[in-house]
Amino acid sequence: MPEHDEADRGEQTPAPTSPSAQIPRRIRAVGPGWQPVLARLHDQLTALCPGYRLADVKEKLGGLRVYVDALGSGERDAVRSLIKAAEAEAAVTCEFCGAPGRTRRRGDAPHGWLKTVCDSCHRAWSAHQIMLVNGSVWQRRST
Ligand SMILES: [Zn+2]
């Protein structure tokens, strides 16, 4: 059987601008602690605006950022406030584990990398024992 390019097609590399791009396809852009926040936001957005298109979702300066493509003026304010609420919830939710957290710098250093973490994940992350890789928590093996 000859090999086809089709093998490479599909869910592997969803383009951010793909017309069908919605939150579930990009949920691994953030850590597991925030994925339920995004899943809920997706439910709220589809209830309001089933064909909404995600422009981008990412962690920036320790906070959740969600961008949706231009909408009709009727939906714009409602969508904006749903996104604001999800971003505000993420700001007090550990991105690693979902426990209550706050945005802190690595090792509480003055210029450290920012992330929203609970106390326990802040300790592990500051000690370089955990990090986020493709939407999952990567844990350094203790040797
Ligand atoms: Zn945590």
Give strand pairing partners of 130.
139
19: containing domain: 15-90
Confirm whether 66 is domain-assigned: yes
Confirm whether 95 is domain-assigned: no
Report CA(117)–ligand 1 centroid distance (Å).
Answer: 5
Confirm whether 40 is domain-assigned: yes
Confirm whether 97 is domain-assigned: no
Percent pLDDT > 90 in the chain is 75
Report CA(118)–ligand 1 centroid distance (Å).
Answer: 4
51 and 19 fall within a common domain: yes
Q: State the CB neighbour count (10 A cutoff) for residue 21.
A: 19
User: What pTM was computed for the model?
Assistant: 0.83
pLDDT in tens, 32-74: 999 999 999 999 999 999 889 999 999 999 999 999 997 878 8
pLDDT in tens, 93-109: 999 999 999 999 999 99
Domain count, the chain: 2
pLDDT tier at 4, thresholds 50, 70, 90: very low
Confirm whether 7 is domain-assigned: no
Residues 6 or more apart in contact with residue 56 via CB below 8 angstroms: 16, 65, 66, 67
Q: Which residues line ion ligand 1, judged by CB < 5 Å? A: 94, 96-97, 99, 118, 121
Confirm whether 44 is domain-assigned: yes
Decide if pLDDT at 20 tops 70. no
Report CA(98)–ligand 1 centroid distance (Å).
Answer: 6
Give the model's pLDDT for residue 143: 61
**What is the greatest pairwise CA distance in the chain?**
59
